[in-house]
Amino acid sequence: MVLNNYRENVRGYLEAMVRPLAKVGLTPNAVTVIGLLLSLLAAYLFYLGEARLAALTLLIGSLVDALDGTLARLTGKTSRFGAFLDSTLDRISDGAILFGMALGSLVDWRAAFLTFMGGYLVSYERCRAELAGSGKLAVGIAERAERLLILMAFSFAGPDYVRYGVYIVGVLAWVTAVQRFYVAYQRLK
């Protein structure tokens, strides 16, 4: 939620970055898939224990992932399927990153699993509550962007610190899930 408050401040920068992509004919959905591929590469690098290189790859992948919506708006190619694809591939990316960390023994698999569950629940609650008529449910202390930044920061610190990032992200994801549940309850009761 915190980073979403700054989205308007960086809109001009994002548009400048996507103009060349639009000129070469890259579609928003292709950019979404490229973002996923970079996240999968980051997951593999975590598996190899290359936390800093994985964090750099994840940073680039996150930047690419932030461009698809801007490209869609700039080229007039927004679609419900594009939003669905983006959300679906984000869930795959989140799971793969935590899976790579666990497989690389950078964090205990149980902590990775609970963190993934919390993050998944945050996304699910928003989707389900909005479908039920809650209105936009972009509330909570740590949405996906904040969670990824925390994971990247601790990964840049080195392999020995990755688990602390996962623990923090896990707690924040579950706090966000509780916050969303409460707000949805208030709006839908």
Q: What is the CATH number of the domain that holds 51?
A: 1.20.120.1760
Domain holding 152, by residue range, is 3-188
Residues of the chain with pLDDT under 70: 1-8
> Nearest Cα to 97, choosing from 165, 32, 45, 171?
45
Contact (Cβ atoms closer than 8 angstroms) between residue 1 and residue 147? no
88/176 Cα distance (integer angstroms): 20
Number of domains in the chain: 1
> pLDDT value at position 4?
57
> pLDDT value at position 18?
85
Residues contacting residue 4 through CB under 8 Å, at least 6 positions apart:
138, 143, 145
Out of 90, 94, 108, 160, pick the active-site residue: 90
> pLDDT value at position 5?
57
98/150 Cα distance (integer angstroms): 13
pTM of the predicted model, to two decimals?
0.91
> pLDDT value at position 21?
87
> pLDDT value at position 11?
77
Instruction: Supply the Cα-derived Rg of the chain in whole angstroms.
Output: 17
Across the chain, mean pLDDT equals: 93
> Nearest Cα to 148, choosing from 85, 57, 84?
57
> pLDDT value at position 115?
98
Q: What is the pLDDT of residues 47-69, one digit of tens each?
A: 999 999 999 999 999 999 889 98
> pLDDT value at position 3?
55
Number of H helices, E strands in the chain: 7, 0
Does residue 90 have an active-site annotation? yes
